[in-house]
Amino acid sequence: MINDYGRKAKILKDNDANLTGDDIREGLTAVISVKLLEPQFEGQTKTKLGNSEVRGYVDSVLSEGLSTFLEENPSVAKAILDKCLMASRAREAARKARDLTRRKSVLESTSLPGKLADCTERDPSKCEIFIVEGDSAGGSAKNGRDRNFQAILPLRGKILNVEKTRLDKILANAEIKAMITAFGAGVGEEFNPEKLRYHRIVCMTDADVDGSHIRILLLTFFYRYMRPLIDGGYVYVAQPPLFKITKNKKEHYVYSDEELAAYLDEIGRGNDVVVQRYKGLGEMSAQQLWETTMDPSRRIMKRVKLEDAVSADEMFSLLMGDKVEPRREFITENANLVANLDI
């Protein structure tokens, strides 16, 4: 019916494909009242009516009523068709973008914008990939890593906030395409953890507000479009040191302000003590980055877990979604809890 009206009104061109049911139903809310003597439902949840004869009546009444409505309200009909067309174009763009990300191997990709430095090991269970921000940190990580089992993927700036972006635009983003291709397991409904090329995916960002923001954006993308990564325990967050303390040419690293205070109380606060605060991973030498953050025998990493998927989903939507008012209320209610604001 919608397709027939669209072609009759010249909104759908002759060479345009028909709109699908999903295109038309996207964003649609409908309330239908049916009075039936002996209703039969499918399943215990009773979410679907099982009386097949009712469908014919509903289709007939809806078709006649909607056809009349569209004819009598051409401006509304055009708005409905425009929205359906937008959904159709987005669906087709997303399909094409997904096709572009399907590669038999990373080696077939000719333009990885993240400049992946792969490892030589081919057993995924022994491999790990570090996602770092910028070429500076990427250079230190590449030089400091163990290339046998550690891969490095530098990203340029912050990735898209996927809570606010349609799938076709998400899959067209260069940094996201680089991650999808490097991981090798697909994306969205087609994600297959058995094809993962690395069983440890490590977010290694700076220990500041920008680094935290990038990490949250990455976790949001993983949660929404690569959920099995988190469910399977493949995602980790690196814990780079925040301070380096030097005394008598002896270096010591600490990872928080509290740890710094405790260590200074232990060794004293004389003139021979030098405290350096790291603003970014790029300030570390390759050797320092290896010793503090990448060496499996000494590093500290946190595995990302979702103990409560429902509350996590709500929090992601609240903090990263497109509704401003709930986020403003959250910030207002929790502003007094901020102890160390890096601005």
The CATH class that applies to domain 113-233 reads alpha beta
- The domain defined by 243-294 folds into Dna Ligase; domain 1 (3.30.1490)
Phi-psi map region of 115: left, alpha, beta (phi>0 left; psi -120 to 50 alpha): left
Does the fold of domain 243-294 match that of domain 113-233?
no
pTM of the model: 0.67
Q: Could you say which of 133, 163, 175, 291 is catalytic?
A: 133
Domain boundaries, the chain: 2-101, 113-233, 243-294, 307-335
pLDDT tens-place values along the chain, 343 residues long? 788 888 888 888 878 888 888 888 888 888 888 888 888 887 766 677 888 888 888 888 888 888 898 889 989 988 988 888 888 888 777 776 666 655 444 434 444 445 889 999 999 999 999 999 888 888 889 999 999 999 999 988 778 888 777 777 888 888 898 899 899 888 888 889 999 999 999 999 887 777 878 888 898 889 888 999 999 999 999 999 888 899 888 888 888 889 899 999 888 888 888 998 887 788 888 998 999 999 999 899 999 887 644 455 666 677 766 677 877 887 787 777 665 555 5
Q: Could you say which of 146, 208, 231, 283 is catalytic?
A: 208
Q: Could you say which of 26, 121, 210, 231 is catalytic?
A: 210
The question of whether 210 is a catalytic residue gets the answer yes
Enter the tokens of residue 52: 């097949």
Q: What dihedral do alpha carbons 67, 69, 71, 74 form, nearest 10°?
A: -130
Confidence (pLDDT) at 320: 67
Confidence (pLDDT) at 310: 47
The question of whether 206 is a catalytic residue gets the answer yes
Q: Could you say which of 128, 163, 206, 291 is catalytic?
A: 206
Residue 311 — φ and ψ, nearest 5°? Answer: -65, -35
Pick the CATH number of 2-101 from 3.40.1260.10, 3.30.230.10, 3.40.120.10, 1.20.140.10: 3.30.230.10
Nearest alpha carbon to residue 189 among 167, 169, 173:
167
The question of whether 133 is a catalytic residue gets the answer yes
